[in-house]
Structures are given as structure tokens and as C-alpha cells.
């Protein structure tokens, strides 16, 4: 099963309102569960996968785990309200967004901070793994688009950066 197929399955589950799905083939076992008290929104579904695809015999389902172990921040140009060019730092995965490594430390970046390419800007927790998200561009943080400890979707804009 490809990563895109798993992502499509999770989207389908969130739109139908199902709380739990188990899929088992000879190559993999997949268990997706979301909390029953969570509301499902058509525009931004909120789901919480609890167990990753696990191979039964051979590592056939390895692509399902690859995005978690190899996080990256994507960028796409979009004009800002001020007319200047900006670049979005987007979430490479579904998970929980954290602005700092723990509640007692300051955020990695705030509005007005200068960031350099490769600098950690946030952490996304996915399936009990904490993934540092790095900036793909050097510039100044113009806007933080997500609240701390909020769920994020794949390709959701996290930060807006004005490049140097």
C-alpha cells in the first residue's frame, strides 16, 4: 500500500465519520482510530492515527513510515496582503504542531524572527514521534498560521516567510 493510498483512506474515514478502521492483508496490517468525541469538519478533517502500518513478513509497507522519519518543510510562493512575495512553510505530515520542544522553553521562531535555511522552526508529533521541521528558505517570519498544540494536516501552511 502506497503512502498516497493510506492518506486517501484516512481522508475517506474522516469524511464518513467512522471512528475506527482495520485493514489486514498478507503484506501489512493497518489500524486507524480517531477519538469518537472529535467533530469531523468537511474542510479540515481532524483525525488521529494511533498505529502505523506494520509489515507482517517483509517491509512492504515501509513507504507509510517514510514521511515520518524524513520530515521536510515544503515551500510555495504566494503573494502577501502587502504585495511582497512570501513563501509558505507547510506541514509535511499529519500530526500535532508544537512551537517549542517543551512547554517551559520559548518558541523556536516568532513573528519578526530571522530564520536561515535548515533552521528548526517547529515540531510535529506524529504517531508518538517528534519530528523537527526545518525551514527551506532564509528570511523573516511574517505570520504564524497555527496555534501551539493544534492538529495539522498534510500540506497545511504553518508559517509565512518573507525571503531575504
Confidence of residue 20 (pLDDT cuts 50, 70, 90): confident
Inform me whether the pLDDT recorded for 82 exceeds 60: no
Q: What is the pLDDT of residues 118-152, one digit of tens each?
A: 999 999 999 989 999 999 999 999 999 999 999 99
Q: Which of the listed CATH numbers 3.40.50.720, 3.40.50.620, 1.25.50.20, 2.40.50.100 matches domain 71-163? A: 2.40.50.100
∠ CA 17-44-75, rounded to 5°? 140
Inform me whether the pLDDT recorded for 66 exceeds 50: no
- Please tell me the pTM assigned to this model: 0.51
Domain ranges, ordered by start, for the chain: 3-68, 71-163
The mean predicted confidence, pLDDT, of the chain is 75
CA dihedral 72, 73, 74, 75 (to 10 degrees): -150
Amino acid at each position: 500500500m502506497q503512502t498516497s493510498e493510506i492518506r486517501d483512506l484516512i481522508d475517506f474515514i474522516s469524511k464518513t465519520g467512522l471512528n475506527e478502521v482495520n485493514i489486514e492483508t498478507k503484506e501489512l496490517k493497518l489500524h486507524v482510530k480517531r477519538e469518537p468525541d472529535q467533530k469531523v469538519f468537511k474542510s479540515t478533517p481532524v483525525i488521529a492515527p494511533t498505529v502505523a502500518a506494520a509489515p507482517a513478513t517483509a517491509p512492504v509497507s515501509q513507504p507509510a513510515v517514510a514521511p515520518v522519519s524524513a520530515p521536510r518543510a515544503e515551500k510555495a510562493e504566494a503573494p502577501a496582503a502587502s504585495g511582497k512575495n512570501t513563501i509558505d512553510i507547510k506541514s509535511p505530515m499529519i500530526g500535532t504542531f508544537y512551537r517549542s520542544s517543551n512547554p517551559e522553553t520559548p518558541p523556536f521562531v516568532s513573528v519578526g524572527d530571522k530564520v536561515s535555511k535548515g533552521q528548526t522552526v517547529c515540531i510535529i508529533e506524529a504517531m508518538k514521534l517528534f519530528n523537527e521541521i526545518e525551514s527551506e528558505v532564509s528570511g523573516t517570519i511574517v505570520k504564524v498560521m497555527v496555534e501551539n498544540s493544534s492538529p495539522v494536516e498534510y500540506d497545511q501552511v504553518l508559517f509565512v516567510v518573507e525571503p531575504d
